Amino acid sequence: MESIRFLLSRDDWYHQRGYWVIAKALSNAGIEVILGGIQTPPEIAQTALHEDVDVIGYRLMDASPKVVIPILFEEMGKKGLADIPVVVGGIIPESDEKLIREMGVKEVFRPFDTFESIEKRVKEIGAEARNKKRVH
């Protein structure tokens, strides 16, 4: 089976260690990680389209999730990518987590989540997304 294609993007130049560590852990778990680097929501949507990804991962530290996530979903919709699941990691206020999950974010990862739990969940979400693509 072909590996899951996971776009990993981030919102700032700072707090980079987690971004790189997660990228390496997912890659070691057999997930093809496309490093988007620092990207705005329109750039993420464009990269997701160009790279034909299965899952989008957005690491947020400085941006307000309740502001940038709706913009991301809007940009994805414009490009016909509304079916690509989005996961978010970083420092996410609890009040924002509830809101962004209601908007459609599939999972929220926190700084002390284990690599194993992140890898497992990304693989589940990616497999589910691929199965939906096959049906349509």
Domain edges within the chain? 5-135
Instruction: Give the integer Cα–Cα distance in Å for 47 and 53.
Output: 9
Q: Looking at residue 1, what is its pLDDT?
A: 59
Token pair belonging to 15: 């707090």
Torsion sign over Cα 27, 14, 37, 68: positive
Angle subtended by helix axes 17-28 and 115-135, to nearest 10: 60
Q: What letter would DSSP give residue 3?
A: P
Instruction: Inform me whether the pLDDT recorded for 13 exceeds 90.
Output: no
Instruction: Give the integer Cα–Cα distance in Å for 18 and 41.
Output: 20
| pLDDT 10s digits, 81-110 | 999 999 999 888 888 999 999 999 999 999
Enter the pTM of the model: 0.94
The pLDDT mean for the chain works out to 92
CATH of 5-135, one of 3.40.50.280, 3.20.20.60, 3.40.50.2300, 1.10.357.10: 3.40.50.280
CA distances from 4 to 1, 68, 71, 75, 123 (A): 9, 25, 25, 22, 7
Q: Looking at residue 61, what is its pLDDT?
A: 80
